[in-house]
Amino acid sequence: MNQLQQLKAFTTVVADTGNFLQLAQFAPRDATTNPSLILKAVQQTEYAPLLAEVVKVHAGEPMDAIVDRVLVRFGLEILKHIPGRVSTEVDARLSFDREATLARARRLVALYEREGVGRDRVLIKIASTWEGIQAAAKLEREGIHCNLTLLFAFCQAVACGNAGITLISPFVGRIYDWYKKAAGSSWDEAAMAGANDPGVRSVRGIYGYFKRHGIATEVMGASFRNVGQIQALAGCDLLTISPDLLAQLQQLEAPLERVLDPAQAPETPAVRFDEAAFRYALNEDAMATEKLAEGIRLFAADAVKLEKLIEAQR
């Protein structure tokens, strides 16, 4: 078996793409999207008609409503190609507004339900700010399942786990990027690969803590830069992987060993974060503080670009 097939034996493979026409070749269970991936997709020839169709039918609606319809339309198309769940993201510009996040999440779910898609097949992606986590906790109590994204710090993960969130997405590659940039010329790529990769270490720590303390929240490593990071997290609950890296895994036939195992979770003390402790812990983590802020800005910028494409067509 190739390494993608081997990986599926102990990790749920998720495709990180808005390009639903690629999904069949990788047979993932789930799929994730974000504003950047949807923006990229709608600018491709094969997907441009889909955007035009949605805009034509709903041109008279407010911009935010049209955007949500575009996101859901892509989600509906993706669900035709996978057996599991699709993640659809709330506008990043609402990352610090609990009530607005709740409203947008409920609207996204309602749009799916009108098309006959149940809540069990949808994950609402929300940034892992304090406000986002509190909104997600309330949504979970309403039966709306969430995927907390832009997660870089242990305190974010623990807060999500304690809040009963369905799934979290620690960003392996962006953590790696920060440490590599900070190290500059002293960075040793070989020495910092595999288990020593800072992004890999972060996910392993979160995974081990959740398993040791019986936290049901699923851990899904995300944002990979190379197959080595994926191989070093084999056994994680889920891994969401770009089509390029999925294709690379299909070309590798060397044995792939399971690395993460719930039975081997280390002893760690249980911790909890109230709002003050959460904000202080996040503030003390320069990498997480900077990457969370940067991630929100980048997703927000792509949301604006998507709105401009829509505006040009209505």
Interhelix angle 63-79/35-42, rounded to 10 degrees, is: 80
Annotated catalytic sites, by residue? Answer: 125
Burial class (CB in 10 A: 0-12, 13-18, 19+), 304: exposed
Q: What's at 242, amino acid-wise? A: S
| Tokens 């070309």 belong to residue | 251
**What are the residue ranges of helices labelled H in the chain?**
3-7, 35-42, 48-58, 63-79, 98-114, 130-141, 154-162, 172-183, 198-212, 227-231, 243-251, 275-284, 286-313
Using alpha carbons only, how large is the chain's radius of gyration in Å?
A: 19
The two structure tokens encoding residue 51: 């955007």
| Cβ-proximal residues to 156 (8 Å cutoff; 6+ apart), any chain | 128, 133, 148, 168, 278, 282, 288, 292
Residues in the chain: 314
Contact 119, 145 (CB under 8 A): yes
Question: In this structure, are strands 238-241 and 12-16 parallel, antiparallel, or unpaired?
Answer: parallel
> Could you tell me the end-to-end alpha-carbon distance of the chain, in angstroms, rounded to an integer?
49
The two structure tokens encoding residue 206: 């979160």
Q: Nearest Cα to 237, choosing from 214, 256, 213, 261?
A: 261
Cβ burial 9-42 (10 Å sphere, 16+ → b, else e): ebbbbbbbbbbbeebeebebebbbbbbbbbbebb
